[in-house]
Amino acid sequence: MKVLTVFGTRPEAIKMAPIVLELNRREGVESYVAVTGQHRQMLDQVLEIFKIKPDYDLNIFQPGQSLTDITVRSLRGLEEILSELKPDVLLVQGDTTTVFAGSLSAFYHGVKIGHVEAGLRSHNLYSPFPEEANRKLTGVLSNYHFAPTQSNKDNLLKEGYPEENIYITGNTVIDALAYTKREEYIFEDEILNQLDFENKKVILLTCHRRENLGAPMERIFQGVRDIVEQNEDVEVVFPVHLNPKVREIAEKIFGDCNRVHRIEPLDYLPFSNLIMRSHIIVTDSGGIQEEAPYFGKPVLVVREETERWEGVEAGTARLLGTSYEKVVEDLDELLHNEEAYKEMAHAINPYGDGKSAQRIVDIVVENHRESGKNEE
């Protein structure tokens, strides 16, 4: 059977990599990878770590690209690939614009679609934007829904999807972490190597969501900045997303703050090892909300909504919103109240057991075999 895996951004690459590696190992499976190149540098960083060489690269990236640019350029490029390759199944992951364009393209070509990380819902179509819409639109077009958790499956059942098409598989991000985490690790970045993770409290910050651009991001950064100024033992590491709008706000608020270390986006290997060594994580990222609990790191989610309640319910994540006051209040509490810190700092792993990729590939292969039998 021919399986085409399509992805375009950093988080999709991280979560698809374990599936691609698993597909490559299977006898009887021809595995192909098409990247849209929605991200360029941030995607290539991940491809290198997992040693994945795409068979097709649409290279659609343009600085300042609009959602329409990404959608149209991906659809156009995928049309050619799908007509030529005629895969049996196309796999997409998550909720980016590449995912939506990939699934729509497969639908147009009559190719079966497997949606990895299906069923996540914030229940607000406008936040995260446009991701909540992308994941719902992809769900409608998909034949196999690979839900990481029971509550993701429940979301799909409530929307009327047939139970036999939904599989609880765990999240492949945990498979990816198993590949990259190291007990001993030396960073290439000198700033990171010189940080005293034992005696300083290192806060790891990431922020990039579209709905946070502008005033919310300024409030979040101002809160972090004031905390740094009030606490001499705090250092912040901020790998800044390549979006120029994020960079501008980071420069405006942190420009003269020498204990906020703004660095380039890190490769996944150092980044996952940085999570493991940090004291607290402040983030609006989806993937990092899943990774931090795995390492037992308290995660403060600077968003108005989340589709990842498992960490919040287990007490390792808090959904802060984006007000300046909440950022200052919660960071202050975690830095000074040992009990509060300990309550959050326990490892839980509701998102996967490291075998998700294997499960997903088993299901895809088995369904193909069954459909072959039915056709005979």
Q: Which residues pair with 112 in a beta bridge?
A: 89
CB of 67 to ligand UD1, least distance (A): 6
Contact partners, residue 69, CB within 8 Å, separation at least 6: 60, 62
CB of 238 to ligand UDP, least distance (A): 9
- For ligand UDP, the closer of residues 247 and 369 by Cβ is 247
Alpha carbons 132 and 118: distance in angstroms, whole number? 11
Q: Which residues pair with 206 in a beta bridge?
A: 283
User: Where does 189-241 have alpha helices with state H?
Assistant: 190-194, 215-230
Alpha carbons 165 and 120: distance in angstroms, whole number? 16
Alpha carbons 183 and 164: distance in angstroms, whole number? 41
92 closest CA partner among 42, 44, 41, 36? 36
Interaction pattern, residues 91-110, with ligand UD1; x per rule: CB under 6 A: ----xxx-------------
CB 266 within 8 A of CB 274: yes
Scanning 164-172, 183-191, 236-244, 303-311 for contacts with ligand UD1 by CB under 6 A, the matching segment is 236-244
CB 175 within 8 A of CB 352: yes
97 interface partner picked from ligand UDP, ligand UD1, none, CB below 5 to 8 A per type: ligand UD1
Pick from 143, 231, 243, 323: which binds ligand UD1 (CB under 6 A)?
Answer: 243
- Which residue of the set 145, 209, 241, 279 is catalytic? 241
Query: Among residue numbers 141 through 170, which ones bind ligand UDP (CB under 6 A)?
Result: none
Query: Among residue numbers 275 through 294, which ones bind ligand UD1 (CB under 6 A)?
Result: none
**Residue 100 touches ligand UDP, criterion: CB under 6 A:** no
Active site residue 117: yes
**Residue 93 touches ligand UDP, criterion: CB under 6 A:** no
Residues in the chain: 376
Phi/psi of residue 140, nearest 5 degrees = -60, -35
Contact residues toward ligand UDP (CB under 6 A) are 10-11, 14, 206, 208, 239, 265-266, 268, 271-272, 285-288, 291
Contact residues toward ligand UD1 (CB under 6 A) are 9-11, 38-42, 63-65, 67, 95-97, 130-131, 208, 242-244
